[in-house]
Structure 1
Amino acid sequence: MKKSRFIVAGAIATGLMLSLAACAPGSSAANAGNADANTAVVTDPSKIAATTITEFDSFTDSTSGLSQYMDKVNAAFMAKYPKIKVKRQTAGGDINTTLKLKISDPSGPDIVPANQGWAGIGDLSASGLLLNLDPYAKAYGWDKTFPTSLLQQHSATTDGKQFGSGSVFGVPVNQGSFVTVFYNRDKLSQLGLKVPTTIDQFQASLSKAKAAGITPVQIGIQDQAATAILLALQDAYGDPTKIRDFVYGEGNVKAQDTGMTQAADTFAKWAKNGYFPKDYQGIKLGDSATSFVNGDGLYFFYYTGYLPASGPQLDKFGTFIMPRNDGETAPVTGSSSQNFSIAKNSKSPDASALYLNFISSVKNGQISIDVLNTPIIGQWKENTSSAMLNDTLGVLNQADKANGYLPYFDWSTPTMLDTLSKNQSLLAAGQIDGAGMSKALQDDYAAFRAKKK
């Protein structure tokens, strides 16, 4: 079973983004997809019949900002379109084992969280379980509403051979998360430092922190969930176009062409230099996050919106994107915190599509801000009551201007996250180097792509 990219104990666990287990493509997938694409659709709310649609998500903690966002959006939708009721369902734990059954059930939910990547939209759409949204994408103008890099994250070909192009099978909820570097504001000031603007400056700050008796990077890899540090370094070293092409299977890009070799070698160097906690290989990621929030560590690599702190405590920390040395604007690996598709069995596709158009709108980014979370679409003023949120809005604005969202590297195959995590442990143990890491990832990738030809 494939692990979630967000596996952290305690407060973070309430916001799990679950990666779905692979589903075998169905023989009738292409025909089903093409039929959907040619179907007439209704987008005029006055002509959509009164109905109830069921929305299914994974935000089980009713006190979390993620769950509050869903409740507020659903209430706003029903207030605007009173003929359409939204019934919300949630599921905790790992929905890998239940979502395919839910989508297959004729009485199952209309709106489903079919995660991006091959293990989600790629295989579920090819299995004929998701509605082809091309007619709605055209009617609602989603190609103009969403940055191209975000729309790409929700696209797949109907023959099951390509992810990242083809037909649209989902939309991003306007609430996002990015690979980021958190920092302790007081400790950075104590060291007489500012937020680094190059990798060299960042690495110099690690050395200075260690000399001052401060843990440079808080991390724990026991549960193989701390891959954000590798993705951040990959973005700093790699060519964004090559990373994107690798994930989406375009051209002939190899894993070693994406900056992963340099990222892995840098990780190994930091480990050798003592920049991590002494026993980090035996620490769980959730415990390392708690240690960071409690004041142990200058930096912590993770995802915006998933630090186990809130209110004034959260504002003790800041966040930035790992910078590059070449002067280029650093790309941002990120996506919506939940993406939604419509189940093929939905009896109310027009109402469901109206809901998707509503929840992915730029306007609803304000609801994210209202619950102190980050949108994923639009330009936003960095003047909220939260210093942390202002930092993340700065990153969002940077990414939105540059159309710079990179897909998560592990979306490239259904097993890539496991391969990346396991080889990170080997890297930490000194059993492989950066070249060995890239080889393992390339072997996984090549085996999967061979099956898709």
Structure 2
Amino acid sequence: MTRPRLRLAAGALLLFASLGLTACSDSGSGDEGADAKTLTLWHYEGPTSAMGVAWNKAIELFKAAHPGVEVKFEQKGFEQIQQNAGMILNSDSAPDILEYNKGNATAGLLSKQGLLTDLTEQVTKHGWDKQLSPSLQTTARYDAQGIMGSGNWYGVPNYGEYVMVYYNKDLFKKHNLAVPTTFDQFTAAMDTFVKAGVTPLSVGGAEYPAQQIFYELALSKANRAFVDSYQLYKGKVDFHGPELTYGAQTFADWVSKGYIAKNSAGIKAEDMGVAFEQGKFPILISGSWWYGRFAEEIKNFDWGTFLFPGNTLHPGSSGNLWVVPAKSKAKSLAYDFIDITMKPEVQNLLGNNGGVPVAADPAQITDPKNKELIAGFDTVSKADGLAFYPDWPAPGYYDVLVGGVQGLINGSKAPQQMLDEIAKPYNDNLADLGK
């Protein structure tokens, strides 16, 4: 998933550019770093988010289990790590463990470059493979070309995520609208809001949210074979075929119908979420990572969620990965930390704070809303409905899709032009892989 949270610190690019770079790789075997007295850990979860709360608890438990070991935790911006991971992990300033985005273009690329530790031996030793379903393992394993789904383990996910529809129950009630169960009912509800002078969707076109709406629309016409072709390169993708054509054309139609505001091309994800929290929009289509925050911060109206109506496939996957850089100086401690995040105490805390745990005790999840969130993920996962994210297939594809969908929002690109634009880098990547 791609979801910026914190802004890039001033001067960070200059700092990373000045680092000395030396490539290296590691098998991850043995107890390297067992005697280390410091564990440097990076992640980009907000402190009040479900993951932030859970990881802080994991740090507390780690310290208790490792007296005398200092944990140097640094909160980083998603985009900061996304844009500079290669330089960071190829330098002597690499952390010992960090949260990193999953997929071919991110963790897969770094594994191919030899910048991540092969965790296969540790996964078997600690039994993490027994705690993760096959669909959740997809994003943790990469082959020699950096393609997910098979090969060695280069990361461990300990939560799940999926895209859903958040809605303002009070505004739905005000306009006499029921929760839609079909696509036609969904668009009819949005028509009702438009006629009342209300823009239905809070959208962040400057970052990941808009491209995920485009992908949801494409998935409404897709099957598993399409997803496997697009994400895993198991078949040829026709960018002017029914799935992506429908996604681009319908997205453009939603703009013309007033479902999506034209000024949303410049809106960041954070501003999109805040606008929904403030009750300015009745609907937001985005991921489960917002759930805990909305539960904590929305005080002035009742809200709920439902799966994108009519779809059996949805953007979603395991959560981001804990990865251990090849240059980690405390690998043994890093493995211990990962293991703690998989313990019931941390997993249950994650679930009770609005996250989607992978190894919690269901009986220990007490909040009705949290149960609803986890049930939604179970529904999608058990139906083999996790379709990953649209920006995963190629390095740099996130920015390609942001630009493409922005063109649909501001009207600078027709749907066919947008599809041509996003097809080229995808196919160039296939050529580089010899596909």
State the TM-score bracket (shorter-chain normalisation). 0.7 to 0.9
Q: Identify which of 59, 64, 75 aligns with 1:90.
A: 75
Counterpart CA distance in 2 for 1:344 and 1:202 is: 48
- 1:406-428 superposed Cα distances (whole Å, 9 cap, x missing partner): 22121100122111111112222
Tell whether 2:3 aligns with 1:6.
yes
Return the letter of the residue paired with 1:342.
V
Q: Identify which of 115, 119, 127 aligns with 1:141.
A: 127
Tell whether 2:282 aligns with 1:298.
yes
Q: 1:429 to 1:64 in 2, by over 3 A?
A: closer
Give the aligned partner of residue 339 of structure 2: 357
Are the equivalent residues in 1 in contact too, given 2:131–2:358 (CA < 8 A)? no
Counterpart CA distance in 2 for 1:405 and 1:178 is: 8
Q: 1:139 to 1:223 in 2, by over 3 A?
A: closer
Are the equivalent residues in 2 in contact too, given 1:380–1:393 (CA < 8 A)? no
Counterpart CA distance in 2 for 1:15 and 1:397 is: 35
- 1:122-170 superposed Cα distances (whole Å, 9 cap, x missing partner): 2211221111112222333333321222211122223x35333221100
Counterpart CA distance in 1 for 2:118 and 2:384 is: 24
Give the aligned partner of residue 401 of structure 1: 382
Q: 1:143 to 1:287 in 2, by over 3 A?
A: closer
Give the aligned partner of residue 116 of structure 1: 102
Counterpart CA distance in 2 for 1:271 and 1:292 is: 18
- 1:16-43 superposed Cα distances (whole Å, 9 cap, x missing partner): 9xxxx9xxxx9998xx56xx28x4x579
- The 3-state SS of whatever aligns with 2:100 is coil
Counterpart CA distance in 2 for 1:138 and 1:118 is: 23
Give the aligned partner of residue 149 of structure 2: 164
Q: 1:243 to 1:106 in 2, by over 3 A?
A: same
Are the equivalent residues in 1 in contact too, given 2:352–2:367 (CA < 8 A)? no
- The 3-state SS of whatever aligns with 1:226 is helix
Once superposed, what is the RMSD of the aligned Cα atoms? Answer: 3.6
Q: Identify which of 312, 316, 326 aligns with 1:334.
A: 316
The alignment's TM-score, normalised by the length of structure 2, stands at 0.83
Are the equivalent residues in 1 in contact too, given 2:155–2:322 (CA < 8 A)? yes
Counterpart CA distance in 2 for 1:63 and 1:156 is: 32
Q: Identify which of 97, 113, 116 aligns with 1:130.
A: 116
Are the equivalent residues in 1 in contact too, given 2:40–2:96 (CA < 8 A)? yes
Tell whether 2:357 aligns with 1:375.
yes
- The 3-state SS of whatever aligns with 1:153 is helix
Q: 1:183 to 1:203 in 2, by over 3 A?
A: same
- The 3-state SS of whatever aligns with 2:406 is helix
Give the aligned partner of residue 195 of structure 1: 179
Stretches of structure 1 lacking an aligned partner (at least 5 in a row) = none
Q: Identify which of 136, 151, 155 aligns with 2:141.
A: 155
Shift of 1:115: 2.1
Give the aligned partner of residue 169 of structure 2: 185
Matches within 5 A, 1:311-330: 311=296, 313=298, 316-324=302-310, 330=312
Q: 1:105 to 1:27 in 2, by over 3 A?
A: closer
Are the equivalent residues in 1 in contact too, given 2:23–2:115 (CA < 8 A)? no
Shift of 1:103: 2.6
Give the aligned partner of residue 201 of structure 2: 217
Counterpart CA distance in 1 for 2:42 and 2:221 is: 35
Give the aligned partner of residue 372 of structure 2: 391
Shift of 1:448: 0.8
Return the letter of the residue paired with 2:278.
N
Are the equivalent residues in 2 in contact too, given 1:234–1:263 (CA < 8 A)? yes
Counterpart CA distance in 1 for 2:241 and 2:345 is: 38
- The 3-state SS of whatever aligns with 1:163 is coil
Are the equivalent residues in 1 in contact too, given 2:161–2:316 (CA < 8 A)? yes
- 1:341-399 superposed Cα distances (whole Å, 9 cap, x missing partner): 11222344344223323324565321213434333556746974463x34322212213
Q: 1:339 to 1:220 in 2, by over 3 A?
A: closer
Return the letter of the residue paired with 1:298.
P
Are the equivalent residues in 1 in contact too, given 2:139–2:318 (CA < 8 A)? no
- The 3-state SS of whatever aligns with 2:392 is helix
Return the letter of the residue paired with 2:124.
K
Q: 1:363 to 1:196 in 2, by over 3 A?
A: farther
Counterpart CA distance in 2 for 1:362 and 1:61 is: 22
How high is the sequence identity, in percent, across the aligned residues? 25
Q: 1:266 to 1:414 in 2, by over 3 A?
A: same
- 1:60-95 superposed Cα distances (whole Å, 9 cap, x missing partner): 754554433211112123445658664423334612
When structure 1 is superposed on structure 2, of 356-365 and 144-153 the one drifting more is 356-365
Matches within 5 A, 1:217-296: 217-222=201-206, 226-256=210-240, 259-277=243-261, 279-296=263-280
Give the aligned partner of residue 419 of structure 1: 400
Q: 1:312 to 1:341 in 2, by over 3 A?
A: closer
Tell whether 2:407 aligns with 1:445.
no
Counterpart CA distance in 2 for 1:161 and 1:254 is: 23
Counterpart CA distance in 1 for 2:39 and 2:52 is: 16
Give the aligned partner of residue 13 of structure 2: none
Are the equivalent residues in 2 in contact too, given 1:318–1:391 (CA < 8 A)? no
- The 3-state SS of whatever aligns with 1:353 is helix
Are the equivalent residues in 2 in contact too, given 1:218–1:299 (CA < 8 A)? yes
Shift of 1:171: 0.7
- The 3-state SS of whatever aligns with 1:180 is strand
Counterpart CA distance in 1 for 2:111 and 2:363 is: 37
Are the equivalent residues in 2 in contact too, given 1:382–1:390 (CA < 8 A)? no
Q: 1:254 to 1:354 in 2, by over 3 A?
A: farther
Return the letter of the residue paired with 2:134.
T
Shift of 1:101: 4.1
Q: 1:14 to 1:432 in 2, by over 3 A?
A: closer
The alignment's TM-score, normalised by the length of structure 1, stands at 0.80
Counterpart CA distance in 2 for 1:299 and 1:289 is: 10
Q: 1:377 to 1:252 in 2, by over 3 A?
A: farther
- The 3-state SS of whatever aligns with 2:220 is helix
